[in-house]
Amino acid sequence: MDKIAIISTRLGGIDGVSIEADKWAETFLSLGLLPIYIAGDFVKTNNIKKYYLIEEMDFYHPEISKIKNYAFNLEKFKDSCGSFNLIDRIEVIKNAIKKKFNQVLAEDNIKYFSVENALSIPLNIPLGIALNDIISEHGIKTITRHHDFYWERDEFLNNNISAILEKYFPPDINLIKHVVINSQAKESLFKRKKIKAEYIPNIFNFKILDKPKYDYASSIKKVRDLLGIDRRDLLFLQPTRIIGRKNIERSIYLVEKLSKKINRKIFLFISGSPNFS
């Protein structure tokens, strides 16, 4: 059975990237590929058969946090007066990641990569460069899934590494097949970098509701009782954070229109916390 590496900064959690990575891993398995997880941190590993931990891949790693700080803080970069050589540090950590990654490839004959967001936004700059090098040097066919891009986030717009961002996030090499989760991202990527991407949206696996251990009816009743919501009223869930790119306004508009159409009260639930940055 051929092996495919599921790669990201962090995996095994309940965040969108981890959840979607697991869905793709199940699909790869159904296609006859064995998923091997590689990340900088794992929230949990009980559902993962085989994984490798490379600590420098985690965006919370002290060195990675420091690099990100200097890369996207113009004043801090100026104040360092050469005491912190940003490019040198990126190179050192990139090489450390490559060394450990090459050890994994030597141990496991991994044929394909599936990269989750690590080549989309520069949370871990050395990792993005390292993955580009590894893919090119080993000739590994890769799917890279983009949940969002750095130019969509204000925090990345003022930076000291514009050439790196342009070249590696995401890279444009023949071995990589780019996948985006919405049509806007597909248009944005082509407009900005002339890179063509496949549009494959995130979807919910409703089959999990058929599992006997998943008592969703009881959970919904508890929510209704807690909030005093009548059983005749409808619940509409958007399981995202409250941030601009999640299009909360569209959900509000949809719920309002639907409520008027069916003449029933609808409660909109947004499960994630707000981000006012």
Which residue in 109, 110, 186, 173 sits closest to 145, CA to CA? 186
- Which is nearest to 59 in space by CA: 124, 129, 154? 124
Q: Give residues with Cβ within 8 angstroms of 266, minimum separation 6.
A: 233, 234, 235, 236, 255, 258, 259
* Burial state string for 222-232 with b = 16 or more CB within 10 A and e = fewer than 16: eeeeeeeeeee
Measure the CA dihedral 128/132/138/141, to 10°: 100
pLDDT in 10s for each residue of the chain, 277 residues = 999 999 999 999 878 899 899 999 999 999 999 999 999 999 887 778 899 999 999 999 999 999 999 999 866 666 655 557 899 999 999 999 999 999 999 999 999 999 999 999 999 999 999 999 999 999 999 999 999 999 998 889 889 899 999 999 999 999 999 999 999 899 999 999 999 999 999 887 777 667 666 677 788 888 899 989 998 999 998 888 787 767 789 999 999 999 999 999 999 999 877 764 4
**CATH architecture for residues 3-199:** 3-Layer(aba) Sandwich (3.40)
Residue 14 has a pLDDT of 79
Q: Measure the CA–CA gap between 57 and 163, rounded to whole angstroms.
A: 21
Q: Which pLDDT value is given to residue 77?
A: 61
Q: For the chain, which residues make up each domain, given as ranges?
A: 3-199, 210-270
pLDDT value of residue 265? 95
Structure tokens at 20: 């979607």
Cα gap 113→127, rounded to integer Å: 14
Note the pLDDT of residue 277. 46
Strand partners, 53: 39
